[in-house]
Structure 1
Amino acid sequence: MASGDNGTQSAIPAEELTRLTDDIVGALKTVYDPEIPADIYELGLIYKIDIDDERNVDVEMTLTAPGCPVAGEMPIWVENAVSSVDGVGQVRVDLVFDPPWTPERMSEEAQVAVGWF
C-alpha cells in the first residue's frame, strides 16, 4: 500500500520505509469512524499511502458515505495521526469517493467488530 515516490525506487532505505509504513498504519488504526466500532484502516477507508523521498506522506481515503457527519473532520484526524509519526514530513490527506466504499472493503477484524460474523 505504501510506496516511495509514485511506485519508483525510493531513496529512503528499505528498513526505514518499512518502519515508517508500519508506524503510519499504526497511527491510522487510532482513528475511528464514530458510527462504526472499528478503525478507519480496518474499515478499508484508506485507499493509498504514498511516502516521497523527503518523507512527506500523501494519504488517499474515503468515507463510508459522502454525507458522513464527520466528512469535514475525519481528514484532519487522519492528518494529525499521521503527522504524529516520528520521521514524517508534511502530510496531505485527499478525500475521494471513486471508487465508492463498500462493506466488502472491511477486514475480517472490522466485520467481527460490527457483528457480521
Structure 2
Amino acid sequence: MPAQDEHNLVETAAPQATVTPATGPADPHKGEVAHWTPDGEVQPAGAAPSEEAVIDAIATVHDPEIPVNIYELGLIYAIELHDDGRVKVEMTLTAPNCPSAQELPLQVKEAVEKVPGVSDAHVDVVWDPPWDMSRMSDEARLALNMF
C-alpha cells in the first residue's frame, strides 16, 4: 500500500484521517480512544499499536471474489486503537448475502491480532451506511478497471 508520508495514509474516495497518538504523561487525552472513520473523525490516543501497522494488517485480507484488499475496497469503516492494546474494527461487506460474510471478519481479527502491541481485536460487521463503489480507493478502481 503506497503511502505519501506517515500521516497521509492512502488517498481513497472517502476522506480519511490519521490517529494522533498522545505524547507524554501530561497529555490531557491520555487513556482516551484513538478513532478513525472514513468521515474524518479523530480522537487522540495514548500508547497503542501503530495505526499504520493495523491498516497494513487489514490490507492483507482480500475478498476471495475480488482481487483487491478489503481496505482499498472501502470495507473498513472505523478503527479504534485503545491504550491497552485492544483494537476494534467496524467493517462492512459488499452485500448482505456476501458468501464471505463469515470468513472475512475472522480474517481481519486474526490479521490485526498479529500486529505488535495488539492485545485483543474485535471486529463488528455493520450495514450503515451501505457499501457502494464510491468507497473504493483509486488503486482499487484501477485494479478493477473501473475508471
**TM-score with structure 1 setting the length:** 0.88
Identity %: 46
Classify the secondary structure of the residue corresponding to 1:49.
strand
Structure index of larger Rg: 2
- Correspondent of 1:11 among 36, 42, 46: 46
**Change in CA separation of 1:47 and 1:66 when aligned onto 2, cut-off 3 Å:** same
Shift, 1:11, TM fit: 2.5
Query: What is the CA distance between 1:8 and its match in structure 2?
Result: 4.4
Q: Which runs of 4+ in 1 moved over 3 A?
A: 1-4, 6-9
Aligned with residue 107 of structure 1, among 137, 140, 143: 137
Structure 1 pair 66–29 and aligned structure 2 pair: CA distance change class (3 A): same
Q: Which has the higher contact order (CA 8 A, sep 6+)?
A: 1
Q: CA deviation at 1:53?
A: 1.4
Output the TM-score relative to the length of structure 2.
0.71
Report the residue type matching 1:96 in the other structure: V
Work out whether 1:92 is the aligned partner of 2:122. Answer: yes
Work out which of the residue numbers 69, 72, 80 in structure 1 matches 2:110. 80
C-alpha separation in 1, matches of 2:56 and 2:102? 22
Shift of 1:40: 0.2
**Letter in structure 1 aligned against 2:45:** S
Contact 1:42 1:106 in 2 (8 A): yes
Q: Displacement, 1:2?
A: 5.9
Number of residue equivalences = 112
CA distance in 2, matches of 1:8, 1:113: 33
Kept in 2: contact 1:2–1:48 (CA 8 A):
no
Distance 1:41 1:65 in 2: 16
Q: Which residue of 2 aligns with 1:33?
A: 63
1:42 corresponds to 2:72:
yes
Show CA shifts across 1:63-112 (max 9, x none): 00010001011100000000011111110000001000000000000001
Aligned with 1:81: secondary structure? helix
Q: Kindly tell me: are residues 30 and 85 of structure 1, through their superposed partners in 2, closer, same or farther at Cα, counting changes over 3 Å?
A: same
Quote the offset at 1:21 in angstroms: 0.5
Residue type of the partner of 2:63? D
Structure 1, unaligned runs of 5 or more: none
